[in-house]
């Protein structure tokens, strides 16, 4: 009996996926749980296993097509088995009501894009934006896409609209003039330099393109402010040296500085909760949990930010174990989309590569990001009962980047000072 293979729901926030590669062709045999195809979402690329063993009877979508979750994408059955045709999904006609004004019926660009013989595939969201702004299929085909095989994504068409002079407003929609600019309104970006004939041009790749869009969008949205503090981590160095063998023996984990700093940061966020909030329009969203994003550098020189959900509920052991787990699976491309979605605060560690301090770009929709620098021995002046003395201490810089729409300098600096205090007075009892 033939089995339908549907586009899987890869996470709560995921509504569609783009087919990157079919691992099998029509007529090939496949075993249960063997990889059938690879898909890409807004968050991560994932492999989709076969739900059953059998023969690939039909593949319903091509590479680079974007498919809604729950849609049948392939059929598996016995060799030679006849397959009933799958009816095309029905689309609901969208009607815009206009009161007291009669206007000519607008042309449905979505329908035109869908039914025309275009050589390029456009996702539903791209077609919807094209329809809203009265962009014809001919004009849509002129837009250069940043996706695989020049596929136009949401960011591409929005950038095109932003740079297009004399934008046509959507038909039958009137937006009243606003007295003030909305928070986080995008600004125009400068044009790139022309390519020299001797230059080597290399495609960015899917992940790098996503990172680029996210970074630019963050700078457009948030006015970044930075505060830096110096912290004496000699106590952390002492604790790690004292307990690393015992910790490894009991828990099978290496004792690192990262969970110590995360633990202190979570406690500081409890006291300065505004840094764990986010902005939606002109509203402040106060999050119930601290979902800690931890930046991880990948072997391909890209960056990903897996999330420790409800990190305030975890013990030190839980933080250490979860941090090691998500970092390891991130480097192996084994994270699910939901594991890199929903952060409320982010910690990044450029110091692991030798940087004294860093100035990270805020991971939207967060309003704060903490960058930790490398640990170095330095002479430091300390007060004693005999007066000032110069001692050698392990020192590190902490840099807090924050969204000035919500966080002022005084608040950000007080949070940073409290974090320094928690790190310098870190209690060994928290390790076990």
Q: What angle do CA 14, 16, 18 make, to 5 degrees?
A: 120
Q: What's the confidence (pLDDT) of residue 330?
A: 92
- Note whether residue 53 is domain-resident: yes
Kindly list the catalytic residues: 404, 408
Residue 379 domain-assigned?
Answer: yes
Cα 397 to Cα 20, 72, 118, 400, 408, distances in angstroms:
42, 52, 55, 10, 20
123 assigned to some structural domain: no
User: Which of 77, 101, 135 is the last residue in one of the domains?
Assistant: 77
Structure-model confidence comparison of residues 115 and 152, the more confident one: 152
Q: Are 290 and 263 in contact (CB under 8 A)?
A: no
pLDDT of residue 189: 54
Mean pLDDT to the nearest integer, 13-20: 81
Q: Evaluate whether residue 367 is within a structural domain.
A: yes
Mean of per-residue pLDDT scores for the chain: 83
- Tell me whether strands 376-384 and 292-294 are parallel, antiparallel or unpaired: unpaired
CATH of residue 308's domain is: 3.30.559.10
**Chain center to CA of 356:** 26
pLDDT (tens digit per residue) in 153-190: 777 787 787 776 444 344 443 444 444 545 555 555 55
Say if residue 72's pLDDT is above 60: yes
pTM of the model: 0.66
Asked if residues 153 and 126 have their Cβ atoms less than 8 Å apart, the reply is yes
On the question of pLDDT at 243 being above 80, the answer is yes
Domain boundary among the residues 55, 77, 99 is at 77
200, part of any domain? no
Out of 24-33, 46-55, 129-138, 276-285, give the one with best mean pLDDT.
276-285
Confidence label for 209 from pLDDT (cuts 50, 70 and 90): confident
Residue 390 lies in a domain: yes
Q: Give 286's strand partners.
A: 277
70 found inside a domain: yes
Number of domains the chain contains: 2
Residue that is last in its domain, among 20, 53, 77: 77
Using pLDDT thresholds of 50, 70 and 90, give the confidence band for residue 124. Answer: low
Task: Read off the pLDDT of each residue in 402-427 and give the average, rounded to a whole number.
Answer: 97
Q: Which of 128-142, 273-287, 325-339 has the highest mean pLDDT?
A: 273-287
- How confident is the model over 380-399, as pLDDT tens digits? 999 888 899 999 999 999 99
Q: What is the CATH number of the domain that holds 17?
A: 2.40.50.100
Backbone angles phi, psi at 165, to 5 degrees: -80, 145
- The parent domain of residue 30 ranges over 3-77
For residue range 79-122, list pLDDT tens digits in order: 777 766 555 444 333 334 434 444 444 444 344 444 444 556 67
In a domain, 370, yes or no: yes
């Amino acid at each position: 009996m033939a089995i339908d293979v549907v586009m899987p729901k890869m996470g709560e926030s995921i509504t569609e996926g783009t087919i990157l590669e079919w691992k099998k062709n029509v007529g090939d045999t496949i075993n249960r749980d063997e990889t059938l195809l690879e898909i890409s979402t807004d968050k991560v690329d994932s492999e989709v296993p076969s739900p059953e063993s059998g023969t690939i009877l039909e593949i319903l979508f091509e590479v680079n097509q974007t498919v809604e979750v729950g849609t049948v994408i392939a059929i598996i059955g016995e060799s030679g088995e006849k397959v009933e045709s799958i009816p095309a999904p029905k689309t609901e006609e969208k009607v815009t009501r206009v009161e007291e004004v009669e206007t000519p019926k607008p042309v449905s660009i979505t329908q035109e894009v869908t039914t025309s013989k275009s050589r390029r595939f456009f996702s539903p969201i791209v077609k919807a934006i094209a329809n809203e702004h009265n962009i014809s299929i001919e004009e849509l085909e002129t837009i250069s896409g940043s996706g695989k095989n020049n596929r136009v994504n949401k960011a591409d068409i929005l950038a095109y609209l932003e740079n297009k002079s004399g934008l046509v407003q959507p038909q039958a929609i009137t937006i009243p003039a606003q007295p003030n600019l909305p928070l986080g309104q995008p600004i125009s970006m400068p044009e790139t330099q022309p390519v020299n004939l001797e230059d080597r041009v290399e495609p960015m790749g899917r992940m790098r393109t996503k990172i680029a869009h996210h970074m630019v969008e963050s700078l457009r949205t948030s006015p970044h402010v930075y505060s830096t503090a110096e912290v004496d981590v000699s106590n952390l160095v002492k604790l790690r040296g004292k307990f690393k063998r015992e910790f490894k023996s009991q828990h099978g984990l290496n004792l690192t500085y990262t969970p110590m700093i995360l633990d202190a940061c979570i406690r500081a966020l409890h006291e300065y909760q505004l840094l764990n909030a986010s902005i939606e329009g002109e509203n402040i969203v106060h999050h119930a949990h601290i979902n800690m994003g931890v930046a991880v550098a990948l072997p391909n020189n890209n960056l990903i930010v897996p999330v420790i959900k409800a990190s305030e509920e975890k013990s030190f052991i839980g933080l250490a174990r979860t941090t090691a787990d998500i970092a390891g699976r991130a480097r192996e491309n084994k994270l699910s989309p939901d594991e890199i979605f929903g952060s409320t605060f982010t910690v990044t560690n450029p110091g692991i590569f030798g940087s004294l301090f860093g100035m990270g770009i805020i991971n939207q929709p967060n309003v704060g990001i903490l960058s930790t620098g490398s640990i170095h021995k330095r002479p430091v002046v300390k007060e004693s009962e005999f007066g000032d003395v110069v001692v050698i201490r392990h020192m590190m810089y902490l840099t807090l980047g924050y969204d000035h729409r919500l966080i002022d300098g005084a608040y950000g600096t007080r949070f940073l000072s409290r974090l320094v205090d928690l790190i310098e007075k870190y209690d060994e009892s928290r390790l076990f």
